[in-house]
Amino acid sequence: MSNKISNSNSGKGSRSAPAKSITKKPHCVHISNACSEYCQAICDPFHAKPCGVPTYPALPTYKYEVFSRGQSYTGTQGVGFVGINPRALYANDREGIRYSTALFDNDSMQNGGTGVLTTSGNSPFDANAGANAITRFRLVACGLRVRYGGTELERGGFKIGIVDPTHDSLTGRTAASLLEEKQAKRFKVQREWSTALWRPVLSEELEFEGSGGMPAGTNPSMGFLFVSPNGTNIMFEWEVVAFFEAQGVNARGQTHTMPDPIGFGAVQAGMNHMDGVTNKSTKQTHESMMSKVIHYLEEGVSRAESFIEGAGRLYTAGKTIYKVGKPVAEALELIGA
């Protein structure tokens, strides 16, 4: 009698075990805290906190917030404005904000003249702190928001918001010229906030500069122009917030920002889809931006996996060629590369 045990899967009527289906695990993508804070500062600065730019070089910096608030009026021609040069707000004696009073006698944004006032933010530094680049500064994020502040009886007209695409001066631009620009947005006069959001568009805006490299404050590059009905004087409230980093002798209380080049690249890619001027809540802008950032991170993970898989196949092909002496084309075909 044979002691052999027969295979239960052999013989007539036997069935092979079903092949196991391999399900690819979904990507688990996380955005670093540094990139999350930076993304919120760009999209929703009025509800964010001071932070750093999560890129190299990884140097400790002092993070600080600058804030200012005021009122603008339409003038004798029924036009008013508020405009800012964001990078100039790094110092409390650089007047980076320009706005109109009821005496304003022009129909375009202006650096000065009748009915134009200037002011700065509440920065802890003055321009002398950055003399000879002893202390250097970098703008992280900035927002300007406006809303109607007058009576219901006088409410009317419209407002135009714009962030110049290359951060050039808005001086001299009228309502008619602004409405010809793709980046400009026209809104009804309302009591809800409309917001203009700064983001870096030039390579030098990601660099640290001393006072000599920072703007003096003239030539606003983002702002709102107001046009009232029938040339009446109406009032608008505005608020500005900006976040800066400082490094050097006068910058105390420095902290590190963890570099995250992949996350930073995803945030930059998401910025390309962000409206520079919006009538929506900046919280909505932030949520929309974060979904795009996660998309770009997932895309990056997929590309990385494809690269790793491709590199593995080439490595296996190389071993095949070396061990069995197969021609390159035949070896690649053998492993399915």
Q: What is the pLDDT of residue 248?
A: 92
Total Cβ atoms within 10 A of residue 171: 16
pLDDT tens-digit map of 252-277? 999 999 998 888 888 888 888 888 99
Domain ranges of the chain: 33-283, 302-335
Euclidean distance between CA atoms 205 and 202, whole angstroms: 5
CA atoms of 223 and 196, how far apart (whole Å):
7
Q: What is the pLDDT of residues 62-71, one digit of tens each?
A: 999 999 999 9
22-60: pLDDT as tens digits = 445 445 556 789 998 998 999 999 999 999 999 988 889
Q: What is the pLDDT of residue 337?
A: 46
- Tell me, letter by letter, the H, E, C secondary structure of 26-78: CCCCCCCHHHHHHHHHHHCHHHCCCCCCCCCCCCCEEEEEEEEEEEEECCCCC
Number of H helices, E strands in the chain: 5, 11
- The correct CATH number of 33-283 out of 2.60.120.20, 1.10.1040.50, 3.20.20.70, 3.40.50.2000 is 2.60.120.20
Q: What does pTM read for this prediction?
A: 0.79
List all residues 6 or more positions away from 122 whose beta carbon is below 8 Å from its beta carbon. Answer: 66, 67, 68, 92
Two tokens, residue 151 = 């009576």
Which residue intervals of the chain are DSSP H helices?
Answer: 33-43, 175-178, 261-271, 282-324, 328-335
- Percent of the chain scored above 70 by pLDDT? 75
- Helix, strand or coil for residue 30? coil
